[in-house]
A and B are shown apart, each in its own frame.
Chain A
């Protein structure tokens, strides 16, 4: 069997044949007959220029297919066809396409594999825009802030970076990631691999109605056995950015690890270190748009010490009514090293009650190492309260309520 390919389709049941996409397409990939407007897979380069001007939303369909639909097939449609066996569905149903860009799609597929199956976006989440910009056609952002989040004497250097998009539109949703395109080339002469970073601010910017976003980035610098230092190329590039610097950005990426737009949703957020970035966005979103939401946020956040926990200060000011916080430190008590999974167990009865509710959403984000411990704690808690964890997890995943993003 051949590998599936990506195809851009227009929904003929929604399209009004206004010709805007055809007039906009820079490579002549959109064409029409007396019945339909269609996209030629041999010409479309997924530049996404046609997506934003479309007045109907019919343009926004990206699908993985074993065999691409020909122009004649598309001309004959009155509706988008059902997806056949072995095909993974349309962009807004079934298995979502997280990124059109192969590289970003592979990174996200890897990050989400911990969820253990085909992931879906929460039913109530807003529909994301993806891949408006790519490595070959990036958007330029200006650095307007770079602040150290960890204490000066802390061993880790985690930074809060603010990128401003000026007069250009770069719509992101809470939970989405962006790609930073590094300047220069690697030793093999090829471009450096793209790095993805979760957006740490809500959709309307760092402050309401600012056209910017923030990232939470840890400087990777590890001591080798011989005492020399191994410095992460991308993280150091980002952490060294100065106000006024220009960076090239691709994205937005990600169409499943998204926040439910439902005031009744309870959201359990489990993270370590910079895995807190999307949860900062979730929290700000809730605070700004649904301050009196019925559902609550539950944060399990682990770090070595309070000095190394990003956003420790601001977290103290988040009202209890909005968010239940468990900040967990592994290096305070030299004897008892406590991790997030341990704290989850002390909240077993609360978590069990939440797991039984159809409105509960779980998000796990951070280093891959945390996955196993978190999984074991859920098993442990469920066993105590007569819940079948694996079934619950599969059901929640199918309903877009269980999400893992680890690296």
Chain B
């Protein structure tokens, strides 16, 4: 069988030769109905009978992995797709550097690997659950299609992780796979594993911010896992990254289009002062200060996903060759980090200060710093839109000490510039940096669906390029219910 192409004959499309692996095939087929039930219960609310212009991978080769067509979401071909195996790939970092990569799970790292895979897997269905009501208020058919594309691909990423659990982790893996369908985002009794994935995504601006910031954490984690010495994990995550790029796209261009519309309407109405919030809101667009507050919220919630500043788990995973650094293969050092140090911001003696710590223990922060750099790139491009309209305003990411619930800074409060705020003053300072009740109400009121092809809601501009080069009035979703 040609492993580049996807086998669509069976129940589960795959390029891993599932037909020749009856044990795993049976396990996945047993898991499948539960997944479909989950999708029906917790996937997008409504629209399940609508035809959505989605891309499906027909091959993991660059030419074949984006085939576009109208599909009903429940008929989407969720499958198991691994990037092609690289011949004689070697472990690139840690204690096993230079050894052949593992095709089976090394016994001593079994628990660690399982945990990493379960945590990654848990975020995938969580975001689908968080976004399930957004279809009803889509600002255009184009945006609705992009939302559903993100949703079905998050569903596929769950499949990707479940395959690893079923194939390599025996009955433990099967139990974990079941549990992934049982936890629910925001549920009091059985919440999803990570904080940001139990928050609400109540409106489209939150969705764009979530895909920009929180999905970008997903990208960083996938990049780190793509370096893994456990080859099946590396191959799985490498293919997931190609899909993840679309989610980055939805976030960056989504926020960019909101900014564009706000600036354009301000210019049209002759409003010069971006802080004249009442006047800007009257135009039916979202004022820039509120956009800044939304960015503050989602950025800070996402930073918590990187875990503690000093982490032995991260050090162990690196040492074991299980989880590398962002683009490890492009870095030039000894790739073992037994001796080096890394500078990070810490909170000690009532002060925030930079401190050198052993490099191996600071890997979470290294990934977080790469994340912040990556975020800043897009923020710069948002600001260029504002500059183009000559509006005196710039979006700025808050300090990493701002509004944190995990790590060094969870025990204190800081403003967006990283200045300490005494605990009793925080409540009054908070309103300045985070969306208030009334900000949320204003945005919620703006969320009116726009279902006519080629039309966009009042608060967002049209994209520069259509999906799959489609013209502006293309009917991305044919709504049937």
Residues of A within 8 A of B (CB): 13-14, 16-20, 23-24, 34, 48-50, 52-53, 55-58, 60, 78, 124, 126-127, 129, 132-133, 139, 166-169, 171, 209, 261
Contact = CB atoms under 8 A, between A and B. Distances in A.
B350 interface: no
B147 interface: no
Contact of A18 (B58, B67, B249, B384): B249
B470 interface: yes
Contact of A20 (B245, B377, B464, B466): B245
B242 A56 contact: no
A17 B377 contact: yes
Chain B at the A interface: SS class: mixed
Given A52-B66, A53-B62, A124 B245 contact: no
**Most chain B CB neighbours (cut-off 10 Å) among A48, A52, A60, A133:** A52
A24 B245 CA distance: 12
Contacts of B30: none
Contact of A126 (B242, B253, B470): B470
A53 B469 contact: no
B219 to A, nearest CB: 8
Contacts of A23: 241-242
B469 A55 contact: no
A171 B63 CA distance: 10
A39 B8 CA distance: 35
A167 B59 contact: yes
Interface in B391-425: none
Interface string B343-380: 00000000000000000000000000000000001100
B66 to A, nearest CB: 5
Q: What are the nearest 8 A-B pairs in CB distance? A: A127-B469, A57-B465, A18-B245, A49-B62, A55-B249, A55-B246, A20-B245, A55-B245
B248 interface: yes
A132 B465 CA distance: 20
Given A50-B62, A56-B249, A133-B63, 8 more contacts: A13-B464, A18-B248, A20-B241, A53-B65, A55-B248, A57-B466, A168-B59, A168-B64
A56 B6 contact: no
5 contacts: A16-B248, A16-B249, A17-B378, A55-B246, A133-B63
B377 A34 contact: yes
Contacts of B466: 57
Interface of B: 5-6, 8, 58-59, 62-69, 241-242, 245-246, 248-249, 252-253, 377-378, 384, 464-466, 469-471
A50 B64 CA distance: 11
**Most chain B CB neighbours (cut-off 10 Å) among A14, A34, A55:** A55
B64 A16 contact: no
A132 B64 CA distance: 11
B167 to A, nearest CB: 23
Contacts of A133: 63
Given A18-B245, A55-B249, A167-B64, A60 B469 contact: yes
Given A16-B253, A20-B245, A209-B69, A56 B378 contact: no
Contact of B58 (A34, A49, A168): A168
Contacts of B469: 57, 60, 126-127, 129
A58 B252 CA distance: 14
A77 B300 CA distance: 31
B248 A126 contact: no
A52 B55 CA distance: 11
A12 to B, nearest CB: 9
Contacts of B69: 209
**Most chain B CB neighbours (cut-off 10 Å) among A19, A60, A129:** A19
A14 B464 contact: yes
Contacts of A56: 249, 253, 465
Contacts of B68: 171
A126 B66 contact: no
A10 B64 CA distance: 21
Contacts of A129: 469
A261 B5 CA distance: 32
**Most chain B CB neighbours (cut-off 10 Å) among A127, A129, A209:** A127
Contacts of B58: 167-169
A56 B67 CA distance: 15
A20 B249 CA distance: 11
A57 B58 CA distance: 20
Given A78-B384, A167-B6, A52 B63 contact: yes
Contacts of B384: 78
A53 B242 contact: yes
Given A167-B58, A169-B64, A58 B248 contact: no
A13 B256 CA distance: 11
Contacts of A78: 384
A252 B59 CA distance: 19
Contacts of A53: 62, 65-66, 242, 245
A92 to B, nearest CB: 9
Nearest to A13: B464
A38 to B, nearest CB: 15
A261 B475 CA distance: 13
A303 to B, nearest CB: 35
A139 B64 CA distance: 11
A168 B464 contact: no
Contacts of A261: 471
A132 B63 contact: yes
A132 B252 CA distance: 28
**Most chain A CB neighbours (cut-off 10 Å) among B6, B59, B66, B253:** B66
B63 A14 contact: no
Contacts of A17: 377-378
A18 B252 CA distance: 11
A78 B186 CA distance: 41
Nearest to B146: A55
Contacts of B471: 124, 126, 261
Contacts of B67: 169
Contacts of B249: 16, 18, 55-56
A61 to B, nearest CB: 11
Contacts of A209: 69
Nearest to A58: B465
Contacts of B8: 167
Contacts of A50: 62
**Most chain A CB neighbours (cut-off 10 Å) among B6, B248, B378:** B248
**Most chain A CB neighbours (cut-off 10 Å) among B5, B69, B384, B469:** B469
B224 to A, nearest CB: 14
A52 B65 contact: yes
B66 A169 contact: yes
Contacts of A139: 63
Contacts of A16: 245, 248-249, 252-253, 378
Contacts of A57: 465-466, 469
Nearest to A78: B384
Nearest to B388: A78
Contacts of A126: 469-471
Given A14-B464, A126-B470, A20 B242 contact: yes
A232 B58 CA distance: 36
Contacts of A20: 241-242, 245
A13 B69 CA distance: 27
Nearest to A132: B63
A53 B59 CA distance: 12
Contacts of A34: 377
B59 A52 contact: no
A329 to B, nearest CB: 39
Contacts of B6: 167
Contacts of B464: 13-14
A14 B252 CA distance: 10
B210 to A, nearest CB: 16
A129 B67 CA distance: 13
A17 B379 CA distance: 12
A138 B4 CA distance: 16
Contacts of A55: 245-246, 248-249
A16 B379 CA distance: 11
